Structure 1
Amino acid sequence: MQKKLSRTHHLQNPSHHCTSPPSIFVIPPRSLMTVFPAKTLLPETPISSPSPVQDYRTLISTDPRRTHIRCLNNKKSQQININVRRLGGAYGAKISRSCQIATACAVAAHTLNKPVRIVMKLETNMESLGKRNDVATDYEVGVDDDGKIQYLKADFYENNGSSMNEPLVESSIEHLHSCYDSSTWSVMGKGVRTDLPSMTYCRAPGSTEGIGFIENVMEHIAKVVNKDPIEVRLKNMPEETNPIAEMINDIKKSSNYEERKKYIENFNKLNRWKKRGMTLVPMTYPFPFWGNFSAIVSIYAKDGSVSVAHGGIECGQGINTKVAQVSAHVLGIPLEMVSIKPSNTLTAPNGMVTGGSIASEACCYAAMMCCRELLKRMEPYKKDPKEQTWAQLVQASREDVRIVAMNLYPVSSPQNDAEFPLPLQRSCDVVF
C-alpha cells in the first residue's frame, strides 16, 4: 500500500419533479367502487379496513418494505376496482405515495356518494410527498501506485426521514459493489431516522446512491495517483470472468476515446476559463425477477381480433407496445389486430410494482405463454395456411375451444427459455 485516502461523500436529496402530477378519479357506487389512480402498483390503493370502529378513517401502517393504506369501512378488496391505463412518468413516488391522494379521494367519494377527482399541483406534490434519501458516507481507502484498492472501509448513512417507509440501505449496498472486486472492502450500511419528512423512492432508488458513491471513490483515487479514471476502474475489476473490460475496450475504439482525450487535454491547456471533459463510467445492474406479472389474452370470434390485459403499468417505457408485438408475433397476426386494455385488479389482482426494469419482459413472457396455449387449443382445427385465414381458424374453433387464456410470470419460472432469454445482466454506459 502506497497511499491512504479519506473523505466524506454526500449525496443530497432532490425534490420530486414528476412529469405528470399525481391524480385520482373515484366513482363511488355503494356496492362497487371504481378507482383510476396514477400509480405503478395496482393492489396498493385503498383497500379494506378490518375494524368497524375505523369509520371513514384512514389508517396508514408502515412495515420495513412499503406503506400500506387501508380505508373505507365495510369495503373489501373485491368491492374495489382499480384501473390504470398509463402514467405520465413514475420516478418512484407513484409506487406508494399516490395511496395518500387515492385514499383522500376515495373517502370523499364514499361520503358524498358522488364521483370525485383530485389532481395535485406540482408545488403541493413537492412539499408533501418527501424527497430522495440523502446519503453521507465516511470512507477510508488504501491504494497502490496504480490505484488498485488494497482495502476500503466505509460507513454508509442513509436518511430515511421520520419513518422507515422505504429504506434503501440494503439495495444501495448491493449496487455499491457494481462491477468491481470488493473482496477487500468493508462497508457498513446504516438507515437513519431523523426529524425530516419521510423520504420517498425516486428514480433508480438504491442504485443511484450506491453506484454514485463508488464511482466518486474511483475518481478520487485517479486524481491522487494521477491516472486516467478508466485505468483505475479497470485495475479494480475482477481479473477473471469480467466482460466489462472487453466492453470498455470496444467502446474506447468505437468512440475514438484516446484521440478525443488528447484533444480535450490540449484544449484545456490553451483555454484558461473554458474547459471540456469526458468520462467513461461502467456499471452492473442486477435483474432479480420478483413478484408475479400476469397477462390475459382474449380472441374475438367475430373478426379474429385480440385484446390483451397485463399486470404491468405503462409509464413511458413502452410496455404496451412490447406486449402487443409479442402477442402478434406468436399468434402470427398483424400488429393492428392486437389491442391492449388498461391494467386492472380483476386481471391482475396480486400484481407487483412496475419497476426494476423487469415488468416489460415479465409481462411479455406471460402474454407469450397465453398465446402459445391458445394456439395449442386451436391446433386440431388448423388447416393449410393457404386455405385458411386466421379469422377462419378462430371461427372453426370457437364452438369447442375456450379462446381466452391467462398466465403469469412467477419467480419460479424457467429463466433459460431459448425463445425468450432474460435481458443482459451487465451494462456499460459511456458519457461525453
Structure 2
Amino acid sequence: MRHFEMDKLKAQGGSVGQSKYHESAIKQVCGSANFADDNPEPYGCLHAYPVLAPVTSGFIKSIDTSHALAVEGVKRILSAEDVPGKLDIGPVFPGDVLLTSHEIQYHGQPVLIVVADTYEIARRAARLVVIECEQTTPILDIKEAISKEHWVRPPHSLNRGNSENAINNATHQLKGEINIGGQEHFYLEGQIALAQPDNDGGIHVQCSTQHPTEVQHLVAKILKKPFSFVNVETRRMGGAFGGKETQGAPWACLAALAVYHLGCAVKMRLARSDDFKLTGKRHPFYNHYHVGFDENGLIEGADITVNGFCGYSPDLSDAIVDRAMFHADNAYYYPAATIKGNRCKVNTVSHTAFRGFGGPQGMIMGELIMDDIAAKLGKDPLEIRKLNLYKKGRDTTPYHQTVEQHILIDMIAQLEESGDYWARKEAIKAFNVSSPIIKKGLAMTPVKYGISFTVQHLNQAGALVHVYSDGSIHLNHGGTEMGQGLNTKIAQIVAHGFGVDFNAVSISATRTDKVPNTSPTAASSGTDLNGMAALNAVNTIKERLIDFITEHFEVDSNTVVFKDNLITFSKGEISFSELANLAYMNRISLSSTGYYATPKIHYDRAKGEGRPFFYYAHGVALSEVEVDTLTGENTVTRVDILHDVGSSINPALDIGQIEGAFVQGMGWLTTEDLQWNDKGQLASFGPANYKIPAIGDTPAEFNVNLYNSANPETTVFRSKAVGEPPFMLAFSVWSAIRNAISSVADYKYTAPLDTPATPKRVLSAIEQTASWFKEHQHD
C-alpha cells in the first residue's frame, strides 16, 4: 500500500478544513429528517410499555395482571419467564437485569411489559397491574455505601511516588471535599425502538442507540440466537450524550422479545417522565483531597479519592470511575500522587455514560485544589494554575503516561492577552468594592483531556465505501450520527481523499449487516476511528485506480493526482466520473471495506500504569459572572475560549461543538439539579423541575477561537477530537462564581461550593464567607 499523506495541507482535494454545513441540517430545519418515531409503522404494528416496580428496594410477593388483561386491545403481558435466553444485559459486567421477577433494586425497575394495539392502551394497562412487595431498607446515601463498602465493582487506585511522605514534608497542607451533582441527558428524542420480523426469519431493529452492535448482541443473547439473527439500524438520533450508549438497549430488547412471541412488529417508546425515571444519569460523585505544597503554591504531593454514585448495577461505572481517576490531575503535575476510586452501590437506577464519561467529576478536583491553594496563599488562582501545569521535566501522569505536548502554556498566554485578564481582574475588584449586592467574578481554567476508549479493544472501527460507475460515492461506517456532525466530517474525509466535491458522497444509516463488530460512538473518538477506517477504504480503491491508470495510460504512478474532480497525470487528465466508468469497464473493483485500530494505547490495571490515551486535547476558558448576594442567583456575562482541535476537519462544526459542550457543562455546574426523595423516587423528572440552560442563559458575549496546532499523532488529517473536551471548559464558570463569592471576604477566604451551584448553594456559601470575614477581619 502506498503512503497517502495525512496532512490536509499536502493532501489532494479540498473538502477537509472547510466549514461545510451539517449533512442533515436542511432536513432538520424543515422538519423532514426522519427519526425513529417518524418512520412509518408496519401494518399490524403493536406497542409495548413496561410495568414498573412500586417500591425502591424489596422483593415481589405477588403480581395481579387481571385488570390489565381485561383492557380491550391488550394482546399479551410478558415477564422474565418469557425470556428464552439470558436475562442479564450487563454491557461489561453482569448485574443489569432486563425484567426482574424477584428482587427490586430501584424505584420503577421494569417487571413486565404490556403489548397492546396502541401506545395509549399499553401505557394505561401497564398502570393497572398490581404488584405486592415486601419492602426492605434501601441504601440511598453515598457515604453510607462507602462506610459499608457496598460496591458494584472493587475499588482501584493509581500510585506514583510516596504521596504520604511528600504531603507530610511539605511547607503547607490542605484538605477539602466536594459533592458533585449528576446530570440528566435530556436528549430531544427519547428512548425508542421498533422491532419487526425480517423476510429471512430474523429480527430487524430500528432504534435510537449509540451502539448498534451492542444492541444486536444483547437482543440475540436474550432470544438465544446467533448475532447474525439480528440486524440493527440507526440513521440519526435526536441527541444522546452517552445516554444511548448502553441504556438504549433494554427497550430494543423488550421490543424484540415481543416480536419473538407475537410474530409481528412491535414498537416501544418511553414517555418523557418515565424516560427520566428509568434511565441512568451522569454519576454524582463525592470526592475529597489532601495535598501538600510549597510557599509558592507548587504541589509536592496529592492524595485524592473519588467516589462514584453508581446506582444498583455496574453498567459502565467501572470505566467511568477509572476515567475520573485518570483526570483528577486535569492539566497539573503531581510529583507524588495516590488516587483512589470507589464504585458505590445504591438503590437508584444505574448511572451511565455522559459526555466526558467521568472525566469532569475527576477533573474538577484539580480546579478545586488550585482555587483552594490560591486562597490559602493569597495569590491569584491563575498564577497557581500556571505554576503547576505539566511541562518538560514535569510530564508524567499518576498513571505513568508521559504528557508529550505542552501547548497549554502558550494557549493560556494567548487568552490572557486577548481576554485582557489582568486588567479585567483589577476592574472587577474595584467594582466589587463599590457594589454591595452584585459581585463579579473572573476565572480562567485549562483542560487536558485524554482521547481513546480506556478499554483497549473498543479502539477499532470499520467502514464500507463504494464508487459507482458514474463517479458517485456511497459511504457506510460504524459510527452513529447523534447530531454532532460525524457523517458530515467523514463524508468530507472521503471526498477529500478522492479529490471530489463533498456532495458526491452519500451516507446511509448505520447497520450491523453492513459494518459489523463496531464500537460505540463515544469517548470523542467517532471521527478518529471511523474517519480513519473510511480513509483506509478510500486509499485501497485509489491504489487500484492508480495502478489501472499507470497501466492503461502507460504513465508513471508518481505523476497521478486526484484533485478538483479530475485525475491528472503526465499524459493528460480524466474526470473522476469518467475514470470510474472506465475502471468498471476494465473490471477494476470499486468497492472496499476499511479498518482502523488505534496504535500505542495500553493499560496494565494490576500495576495502575500504562498509556490509556492516544493523545490529549486541550482548551482554555475565561469566564466572567455576576452574583446577586441577596438571592444567590448568578449570570454568565462573558466567555472567551481558545480550544485545541488539532488541524480542524470542519471549523464550523467544531466551534458548534465547543459552544454546545460549554453551555451543557455550565448547566451541569449551575442549574441542573437532580433530586431523589427519601423513598428513592426521582423527584426531578421533567422540565418543570429540572432546568437545563436556555437561550437566555447563553453568555451575552461568547467568543470562541480555534488554536492552530496540528495533532502530533497520526490521526485523520492531524485533527483532534472535539465532542467531550470542551465540556470541562465550563469549570471556569464555577471558579468564577467562587471568585465572586470570595470578594465578600476581600478574597481572603473561599467557601466550599458543591455543584450544581444553585442559588440556594451560592447563597449558603455567601453567608459562610460573610460569617468567616466577620470573625477574622481584625486578624
Residue equivalent to 1:26:
195
After superposition, residues 141-180 of structure 1 pair within 5 angstroms as 141-167=291-317, 168-180=320-332
Structure 1 residues 206 and 99, CA gap change in structure 2 (3 angstroms): same
Contact preservation (8 Å) 2:536, 2:596: no
Query: Aligned-pair distance for 1:239?
Result: 4.6
Residue equivalent to 1:70:
221
2:356, 2:448 → 1: CA distance?
13
Q: Deviations 1:334-357 (Å, cap 9, x if unpaired)?
A: 111110111111222101111111
| Residue 456 of structure 2 is aligned to residue 269 of structure 1 | no
2:386, 2:222 → 1: CA distance?
53
1:188, 1:380 → 2: CA distance?
56
Query: Which of the pair has more CA radius of gyration?
Result: 2
Structure 1 residues 418 and 42, CA gap change in structure 2 (3 angstroms): closer
Segment drifting more, 156-165 vs 304-313: 156-165
| Residue 446 of structure 2 is aligned to residue 279 of structure 1 | no
Contact preservation (8 Å) 2:218, 2:249: no
1:157, 1:307 → 2: CA distance?
46
After superposition, residues 9-158 of structure 1 pair within 5 angstroms as 9-29=178-198, 31-47=201-217, 70-73=221-224, 75-158=225-308
Q: Deviations 1:55-87 (Å, cap 9, x if unpaired)?
A: xxxxxxxxxxxxxx83224x3211211111111
Q: Which amino acid is 1:80 matched to?
A: V
Structure 1 residues 419 and 210, CA gap change in structure 2 (3 angstroms): closer
Structure 1 residues 412 and 153, CA gap change in structure 2 (3 angstroms): closer
Query: Aligned-pair distance for 1:398?
Result: 0.6
Query: Aligned-pair distance for 1:152?
Result: 2.3
Residue equivalent to 1:397:
583
Contact preservation (8 Å) 2:302, 2:336: yes
Note the residue ranges of structure 1 that are not aligned, 5 or more in a row: 50-68
Structure 1 residues 223 and 417, CA gap change in structure 2 (3 angstroms): closer
Contact preservation (8 Å) 1:169, 1:191: yes
Residue equivalent to 2:349:
197
Query: Aligned-pair distance for 1:169?
Result: 2.1
Segment drifting more, 324-333 vs 408-417: 408-417
1:408, 1:21 → 2: CA distance?
32
Residue equivalent to 1:346:
513
Please, what is the CA RMSD of the aligned residues? 2.5
Q: Deviations 1:160-202 (Å, cap 9, x if unpaired)?
A: 2222222222111101122211122222222222233322222
Query: Aligned-pair distance for 1:387?
Result: 5.0
Pick from 283, 298, 306: which aligns with 2:466? 298
Aligned-residue identity in percent: 24
1:70, 1:376 → 2: CA distance?
41
Structure 1 residues 396 and 87, CA gap change in structure 2 (3 angstroms): same
Helix, strand or coil at the partner of 1:222: helix
Query: Aligned-pair distance for 1:419?
Result: 7.2
Q: Which amino acid is 1:262 matched to?
A: E
After superposition, residues 317-396 of structure 1 pair within 5 angstroms as 317-382=484-549, 385=568, 387-396=573-582
Contact preservation (8 Å) 2:282, 2:354: yes
Structure 1 residues 28 and 389, CA gap change in structure 2 (3 angstroms): same
Query: Aligned-pair distance for 1:275?
Result: 1.6
Contact preservation (8 Å) 1:294, 1:347: no
2:540, 2:314 → 1: CA distance?
44
Q: Deviations 1:276-328 (Å, cap 9, x if unpaired)?
A: 22211112111236431111110111x21110000111112211111111111
1:239, 1:350 → 2: CA distance?
39
Segment drifting more, 116-125 vs 375-384: 375-384
Residue equivalent to 2:176:
7
Query: Aligned-pair distance for 1:413?
Result: 8.8
Pick from 569, 576, 594: which aligns with 1:407? 594
Contact preservation (8 Å) 1:363, 1:409: yes
Contact preservation (8 Å) 1:381, 1:393: no
1:231, 1:308 → 2: CA distance?
49
Q: Deviations 1:34-65 (Å, cap 9, x if unpaired)?
A: 1111111121115478xxxxxxxxxxxxxxxx
What is the TM-score with the length of structure 2 in the denominator?
Answer: 0.50
Query: Aligned-pair distance for 1:417?
Result: 4.3
1:406, 1:86 → 2: CA distance?
22
Query: Aligned-pair distance for 1:362?
Result: 1.9
Helix, strand or coil at the partner of 1:95: coil
1:3, 1:262 → 2: CA distance?
28
Q: Which amino acid is 2:595 matched to?
A: L
Helix, strand or coil at the partner of 2:327: helix
Query: Aligned-pair distance for 1:207?
Result: 0.6
Segment drifting more, 268-277 vs 15-24: 15-24
1:358, 1:46 → 2: CA distance?
21
What is the TM-score with the length of structure 1 in the denominator?
Answer: 0.88
1:265, 1:201 → 2: CA distance?
40
Residue equivalent to 2:383:
231
Helix, strand or coil at the partner of 2:439: coil
Query: Aligned-pair distance for 1:331?
Result: 0.9
Q: Which amino acid is 1:22 matched to?
A: Q
Structure 1 residues 239 and 336, CA gap change in structure 2 (3 angstroms): closer
Contact preservation (8 Å) 1:3, 1:142: yes
Structure 1 residues 48 and 234, CA gap change in structure 2 (3 angstroms): closer
1:419, 1:17 → 2: CA distance?
31
Q: Which amino acid is 2:577 matched to?
A: A
Q: Which amino acid is 1:27 matched to?
A: Q
1:387, 1:8 → 2: CA distance?
68
Contact preservation (8 Å) 1:12, 1:135: yes
Structure 1 residues 22 and 274, CA gap change in structure 2 (3 angstroms): same
1:16, 1:358 → 2: CA distance?
19
1:232, 1:8 → 2: CA distance?
19
Q: Deviations 1:71-107 (Å, cap 9, x if unpaired)?
A: 224x321121111111111111201111111111111
Q: Which amino acid is 1:317 matched to?
A: Q
2:216, 2:541 → 1: CA distance?
35
Q: Which amino acid is 1:43 matched to?
A: T
1:297, 1:95 → 2: CA distance?
25
Q: Which amino acid is 1:406 matched to?
A: T
Q: Deviations 1:95-120 (Å, cap 9, x if unpaired)?
A: 11111111111112222222222222
Contact preservation (8 Å) 2:527, 2:721: no
Contact preservation (8 Å) 1:47, 1:72: no
| Residue 346 of structure 2 is aligned to residue 211 of structure 1 | no
Residue equivalent to 1:65:
none
Q: Deviations 1:147-166 (Å, cap 9, x if unpaired)?
A: 22233223322222222222
Contact preservation (8 Å) 1:17, 1:122: no
2:716, 2:227 → 1: CA distance?
37
Contact preservation (8 Å) 1:130, 1:197: yes
2:232, 2:415 → 1: CA distance?
46
